[in-house]
Amino acid sequence: MIPRNPAAAYRSTAVETRVHEADPHALIALMLEGAIQRLRTAEACIASGDVARKAKAAAEAGAIIDSLSGCLDLQQGGEIAARLEALYDYASRRVVGANAANDPQGFAEVAALLDDVYGAWKQIRPA
């Protein structure tokens, strides 16, 4: 049986391979990339009027952000982890609001915030 969308099947397999091969540091980077991608998709879907796809992308971005928050070790991470937790909480609430209001600027704002975190995350590498 031939897949209905071979490109989507390839992307899915490629992502699964990257996840399975990722160390914890790389996994966080993949999660940030995924959230940013979905936020940009949600923003674009508002412009194209694709409400269902926007809602799906926003929900996926929110779930990833919540997972990122859940990965934080507040005891060991100290002030940095606490600040990230606050940022992820804000981002999660902002995504919900942007989704409800069809607010592309809300999605863009959160994508920019996560892009800053992603850039910083790429600069550090555990020993």
The pTM is what? 0.83
Q: How many CB atoms lie within 10 A of CB 118?
A: 18
Instruction: Tell me the pLDDT band of 8, cut-offs 50, 70 and 90.
Output: low
Residue 45 pLDDT greater than 70, yes or no: yes
What is the fold, at CATH topology level, of the domain defined by 6-123? Four Helix Bundle (Hemerythrin (Met), subunit A) (1.20.120)
Q: How sure is the predictor about 24, in pLDDT bands with cuts at 50, 70 and 90?
A: confident
Domain coordinates in residue numbering, the chain = 6-123
Helices (H), ranges, 1-127: 6-21, 24-48, 51-70, 74-101, 104-123
Virtual torsion, Cα 94, 100, 105, 111, nearest 10 deg: 50
Q: Are 64 and 95 in contact (CB under 8 A)?
A: no
Q: Kindly report the CA angle at 14 between 67 and 44, in degrees rounded to 5?
A: 65
What was the pLDDT predicted at 10? 45
Whether the predicted pLDDT of 97 surpasses 70: yes
**What pLDDT, on a 0 to 100 scale, did the predictor assign at position 125?**
77
